[in-house]
Structures are given as C-alpha cells and as structure tokens.
Structure 1
Amino acid sequence: MRIELNGDTLATGCETLAALVEERGFDADCVATALNGAFVPRGLRGQTPLAEGAKVEILSPMQGG
C-alpha cells in the first residue's frame, strides 16, 4: 500500500503503525506518532491499522536551540 510518511509518499507492507515505526528504523520509545492528524500513544501503535493513503507523522525530539 502507499502511505504518506512525514510528507513523503512511500510503499509499505506494514499493517500497523508499530510495524511501520520498526520498519523505518525509529526507536519506538523515543518518538511521537500521529495518524491522519490524530496523536497515537505508544501503547496503541500495535493496534492501530494502516490503510491506503494514510498520513503518518513520526517525530523524534531534537536537541539544540
């Protein structure tokens, strides 16, 4: 399926948000996630299905200022 991740379109076979976080190499404990504009807590990512055209944001904290 094709989804949008952080503004870029990509193809993935992941069925859940948790699987996508892992597939893309993010540290699941250190990121915030949103699906179609709604925040998804870490504990619910494994139960959150992805669908064709989903808009996903995976954000990591940044240092500096």
Structure 2
Amino acid sequence: MINDRIAEGCTIYVYSYTDVKAGFTSERFLVGTLHIVSLDKCAALDPYVASRYDIGMMCAVGDGVDACQVT
C-alpha cells in the first residue's frame, strides 16, 4: 500500500458498473474504503489515471477499490 497518505480513510458509496463491457450496473450502493494521496503521488502511480489533473481533483487509492468522477 502507499505510504504517502494524506488521510487515513475515505468511504465511498456509489452505484457503479459491475461489468463495464456488458454495461451492467449495481442495483444497490457499493461501499469501499480509499486512502487520499497527493496528486503528484497519484500521477507517479499511473499516468493514465491522472494524466491531466487540476486543482479541483482528488486522488484516492485502495486495495481492489477505485472510483472516478468526471464532470
């Protein structure tokens, strides 16, 4: 896991794709715990994920959990 955490935990509650290719979404909220990290650390982990971030974004990672919000 990442040692450069800004916060110890952030709980997310989302409806999400359970199978992106088939277009299936969850029928109930899914719950996951993420750890907030700096944007620089996020960019170093995966340039695809944080290729163009700005001041309004937050980066969080977890074991087998992810979340993305595009506005």
TM-score (norm 2): 0.24
Q: Which has the larger radius of gyration?
A: 2
Higher relative contact order (CA 8 A, sep 6+): 1
TM-score (norm 1): 0.25
